A and B are shown apart, each in its own frame.
Chain A
Amino acid sequence: MSTVPRFWRHIPQRYNLVGTHCPKCDEYYYPPRAICPNCRRAAKMEDYRFDGKGTVVTFTTIYNATDDFKRQTPYNLAIIELDEGPRLTGQVICTPEEIEIGMRVKPAFRILGKDGERGIIYYGTKFVPAEGSV
C-alpha cells in the first residue's frame, strides 16, 4: 500500500484524534488544518484533542475489500460526526445488524491493518458503540 514513513507521519493525529481549533471562528477541524478554511487568515490555529465521542451519520458493511483489508471482512465503515462538529471516516466494531444511523460511538485504539508485502502492522482509532444510542 505505502511506505513506512507514510504510515507514521500522522501518528499523533491518528492515535489520539488530535485536530485543530480556530479561536477566531470557534470551529474545530479534523484532520488538523494549518489554515482555517472559514476565515482563511492566519488566525492562530491551536491543537485540539478530541475525546472522540460522536454519532454515526451514515455507514456501510464492507464484504469486498482491497487486499490490505481482506482479512477483516465483513467490517463496518461509517462517517462519524464528532460532538465538536468535524466528521471523519472510521470503522465501527459491532455486528452489521447492530450499527444504525444516529448510533452513539466512542473511540477504541486498535490494529487498523497490515501491509501485505512488508507485514507491518499499523494502529489507529476505530470506534465502538457507546451508551446513549438512539
Chain B
Amino acid sequence: MRSVSIIGAGCTRFGERWDDSLRDLVVETGIRALEDANVSGEEIDGLYVGNMSGGRFVEQEHIGALICDCAGLSRLHVPSTRVEAACASGGLALRQGVLAVASGYSDVVIAAGVEKMTDVTGGVAADALAAAADREWECFFGATFPALYAMIARLHMHRYGTTREDLAEVAVKNHFNGSKNPISQYQMEVTVDKVLNSPLVSDPLRVLDCSPITDGASAVVLAPTEEAKKYTDSPIRILASAQGSDTLALHDRRDITTLDASVFAARRAFSMAGLEPKEVDLAEVHDAFTIGEIVAIEDLGFFDKGDGGRATREGLTAIGGEIPINTSGGLKACGHPVGATGIKQAYEMVLQLRGEAGKRQVEGAKVGLTHNVGGCGGTAIVHIMSR
C-alpha cells in the first residue's frame, strides 16, 4: 500500500445558503480545493462524494455523475462515486479516496462532501435525518435522532455523574471556537445559562445542544505522498484510515454509553499509525449533539470512560488545553451539512497542521485526528494525519 497525502483542501461557508443550490456549493468548493492543490482536471482520475440524502433534501439522486459534471470533469469521464453512511458519508468518501490512491488504482483523487438541507421544511429534514436510525424498530415507535442521543446522555449522566452543565460546556466551547472560524454557521458565543434556558428538544437535550440544519460542501485532493511535493510545499500525510460498524438500533448495543464502532475504528487507526492517543495534538470529533463529543473523547482514548464531562468542565478540551477538540466549532457551531461534515473535519485539520488556522490555531500542531459518526454509532470513521 502506498502512503497517501492531502495536497489541497477547500470548503464553502457553512450556513443557510438561500441563494445557492447543491450544484453551486459543489462548484464553489471544488474550485477552491483544486486551486489550493495546483492540480489540473486532466490529472484527476477519481472522485468520491459523500452525500446522505440528496433524494430527500433536493430530490436529486445520482450525485456522483452530477458532481463530476459540476466540477467540469464530465468530458474527461472521470469515474465518480457517491458514498453514503448517513452523517459519516463525508468521512467515508475520504476513506474511499485514500484506499483508491493507496492501492495504486488511482493517483490524484478528489474526496468531497455536500449537503443542501434548507430547501425543505424542518419536519421533512428531521424525518430525512431520522432515516439514519432504525426506521422499523426505532422511528416507528416515535424515536427521533435527538431522542436517541438524549437517551445516551441520560444514561451517561446517571452512571458517571456527568452534569447538565457539562453538556452545556461543550456548546460554549464549540461556539467560542466557531466564532473564530470564518466559515462557521454560528459566529456568536453562548453561555452555559443560555444553553440551559434554550427550549427542550428531547430531555435532557435542548436546542443549543443540537447541531443545526446546514448547507455546505467541502473537498480535499489526495495524491501519493511520494508525488505530493510536486503539487504543494505542505502536504498533509494520512497516517491511518479506519472504519467500524455496529448495530443500526441503539437498543441493541453492548453498552448504550459507548459507541463501540468508534472504539474499534480508533484502536485500528492508532495501531496503523503506530501512535498513542496522548501523541495526538488536536481532534475534530462528531458532536452532532453535545453528549456526542463527551462520549467521543472517551471512546477515542483521550479520556477514561465516564471522564469526558469532567475533562470538558476543566477546560482540557479547549484551545490551549491538553487536547483541543473541535477547533472549527465542530458540528455544533460550524454547522452540520451531513454529507460534507467528514470532509470539513479534514479541511480544518489541514489548516491546523499547516499553521493556517488564524485565531483558533493550535500552537505547534503536528498530529491531528478526525472522527465522523453515522447515525448514533452504526458507522464510525477515524483518520489520523500529520504534517
Contacts and interface: CB of A to CB of B under 8 A. Distances in A.
A89 B137 CA distance: 7
B256 interface: yes
Interface string B124-162: 101100100001111111111011001110110010000
A75 B143 CA distance: 10
B201 interface: yes
B140 A63 contact: no
Contacts of A113: 142
Given A59-B154, A88-B137, A101-B154, A77 B201 contact: no
A89 B249 contact: yes
Q: How large is the interface on B (under 10, 10 to 19, 20 to 34, 35 or more residues)?
A: 35 or more
A61 B250 contact: no
Nearest to B200: A63
Q: How large is the interface on A (under 10, 10 to 19, 20 to 34, 35 or more residues)?
A: 35 or more
B2 interface: no
Nearest to B133: A89
Contact of A66 (B127, B136, B154, B204): B127
Nearest to B127: A66
B154 A88 contact: no
B203 A77 contact: no
Contacts of B142: 62, 65, 69, 72, 75, 77, 91, 112-113
Contacts of A87: 251-252
Contacts of B147: 60, 62, 77
B3 interface: no
Given A60-B154, A101-B158, A1 B127 contact: yes
A58 B154 contact: yes
A59 B146 contact: no
A89 B123 contact: no
A58 B141 contact: no
A59 B381 CA distance: 27
Which residue, B126, B202, B249, has most C-beta atoms of chain A within 10 A? B202
A108 interface: no
27 contacts: A14-B140, A57-B251, A58-B154, A60-B147, A60-B154, A60-B202, A60-B205, A62-B147, A64-B144, A65-B144, A66-B123, A66-B127, A66-B144, A70-B123, A77-B142, A77-B147, A77-B151, A78-B151, A79-B151, A79-B251, A87-B252, A88-B251, A89-B249, A96-B203, A112-B140, A112-B141, A124-B141
Nearest first, the 4 closest Cβ-Cβ pairs linking A and B are: A60-B150, A58-B155, A87-B251, A67-B123
